[in-house]
Amino acid sequence: MTLLQWFIFILIIQVIHGLGTWKLYVKAGRQAWEAFVPVYNAVVLMKIINRPWWWTILLFIPIVNLIMIPVVWVETIRSFGKNSTLDTFLVILTFGLYIYYVNYALDVTYITDRDLKPRTSAGEWISSILFAVVAATIVHTYVMQPFVIPTSSLEKTLLVGDYLFVSKFHYGARLPMTTVSFPMVHDTIPVVRSKSFLYDDDRNDKDSWKNKLQLPYLRLPGFQDVERNEIVVFNYPIDTVKQFFATDGKHYLKPIDKKSNYVKRAVGLPGDSLKIVDGKVYINNEPLQLPDRAKPQYNYIVQGKGQGFNPQALYEVYDITDPISWYNQNERQYRITLTDKTAERFRNHPNVASVTKIIDEKGAKGGNLFPNNGRLDWNGDQYGSIYIPQKGKTVDLTYDSAPFYRRIIEVYEGAEMGIENKITYNGNQVLLNGKPATTYTFKQDYYWMMGDNRQNSEDSRFYGYVPENHIVGKAVFVWMSWDANKGGVRWERLFTTVGGSGEPTSYLPYFVIALLVWFGFNYFRKRKKA
């Protein structure tokens, strides 16, 4: 839906609300017209049900409102004496329409001084849990979201098993585009493993009514733009799987904010020119300067001397975490992922004859690389040069350049914005929706994301540009880290920052001290009151 369509939809909802409640407003001592005025009617309703005015705000916050609206339905009928369990079920199961029955068919009396305290311990528990969920949903959606590192693409900066806090407010929180969704989960409800959102994933039924409930992209003001080398969580632009790591082989249609979450380093910013030479990234013809915490890894051919390697020993001595595989078993050659510094150390291993970095040669064509047109002799180590689109900039559309921007035009600034765009060719001439097109102006910014584990990372070299509206947030904090190799907690990584210089410093002791002070303060405060 467009913003105008949503505005009309909200007005219709206000009319439905007014028609179903105006008599109840009158019985509560208010005017009938107050039931029809958008927003104001909600403020008045909060007074009627004896709830604070700020509940009105919660009714207009996407996702949170899915929790609050049923609560308000229940509170409304209870304010007029309908307190039974049956009444509660009826108002929820009818999506609030039971209020029409109460409004027109029943002779109810407004309870002025209704007791808001739950009548049972179960009711009190439900009330507490409900508002805990509301608070957590607000934090999760608009402030900070937890995230776990599932792959080794950012080793040794972020490790498999690191649990992160991802800031939504640094770049500005993106308002949910999927309006009907299970709170605080992404694309899948845990345990039951079912889809967590209302959306028709049939690629042949894009016009389903479920898909018309989507909100347009909006982002709240942030404190900063995405800066070079920051580690960013984003929605995988070409995601078509039912859920992360799904293997059923089917392709599913997914809304932007429910695509799988990926985490990579933003090496290329809007307006940059990027190329990769011998595995090294260059931005605007200058070598990319990584922060000192970044430790890029590459694949190496390790020539053994006849004996094998103990993976656990390699992990403990050399911090080698990626799986070891054969490069050439007959020649006793292994493929091992190392940092350049570790490679120098590893040359002194008694079972190592030589260590050679694997770098694809210039001109050797690599497979499945963006833009996947089959015309370029590029590979993961010899790539580009490529322009990263910037909002408002205009580029020439030619037979050679169009493949780089085709998905942008057709999908990111086409189908995902509700616009039907189609690129075709007439010989070497580019056609947009059947008409000749020689230029194109970008409607949003784009980014180039890469992993530090250079040859073991599914990044922009394979799927291309990451649109601004796919950006989720900035990785800022490691609050937990589980080492699967040792089967235990990496205590030194707990409560460490993702950014910064030097070795990460754990703030866990300070956190523990703060907790002890807090609990001590509460303990003595309660004793003093007693």
What is the pLDDT of the chain when averaged over all its residues?
A: 90
Spell out the domains of the chain, with CATH numbers in brackets.
Answer: 3-141 (no CATH), 297-357 (3.30.70)
DSSP string, 196-235: -B-----TT-TT-GGGGGPPPP-B---S-PPPTT-EEEEE
At residue 21, does pLDDT exceed 90?
A: yes
pLDDT value of residue 206: 67
pLDDT value of residue 379: 95
The string of pLDDT tens digits covering residues 380-403 is 999 989 999 999 999 999 999 999
The string of pLDDT tens digits covering residues 472-510 is 999 999 999 999 888 899 999 999 999 888 888 888 888
Cβ atoms of residues 151 and 263 within 8 Å: no
At residue 127, does pLDDT exceed 80?
A: no
pLDDT value of residue 471: 97
CA dist., res. 386 & res. 481, Å (int) = 36
CA dist., res. 395 & res. 397, Å (int) = 6
Percentage, residues of the chain above pLDDT 70:
96
- Compute and round to an integer the Cα radius of gyration of the chain: 28
Q: Which is higher by pLDDT, 112 or 448? A: 448
200 pLDDT band, cuts 50/70/90, is: confident
At residue 118, does pLDDT exceed 70?
A: no
The string of pLDDT tens digits covering residues 149-197 is 999 999 989 999 999 999 999 999 999 999 888 888 888 888 888 888 8
Q: Which is higher by pLDDT, 525 or 282? A: 282
CA dist., res. 424 & res. 435, Å (int) = 9
- The encoded tokens of residue 60 equal 């207009």
DSSP string, 65-107: HHHHHHHHHHHHHHTTT--SHHHHHHHHHTTTTHHHHHHHH--
Once rounded to an integer, what is the mean pLDDT over residues 227-242? 93
Going by C-alpha positions, the residue among 411, 436, 1 that lies closest to residue 203 is 411
Percentage, residues of the chain above pLDDT 90:
65
pLDDT value of residue 128: 77
pLDDT value of residue 194: 85
At residue 467, does pLDDT exceed 80?
A: yes
At residue 519, does pLDDT exceed 90?
A: no
Once rounded to an integer, what is the mean pLDDT over residues 250-256? 86
Q: List the single range of 7-16, 45-54, 73-82, 282-291 with lowest mean pLDDT.
A: 7-16
CA dist., res. 138 & res. 136, Å (int) = 5
Cβ atoms of residues 496 and 192 within 8 Å: no
pLDDT value of residue 530: 62
- At position 334, the amino acid (one-letter code) is Y
pLDDT value of residue 290: 94
203 pLDDT band, cuts 50/70/90, is: low
pLDDT value of residue 251: 81
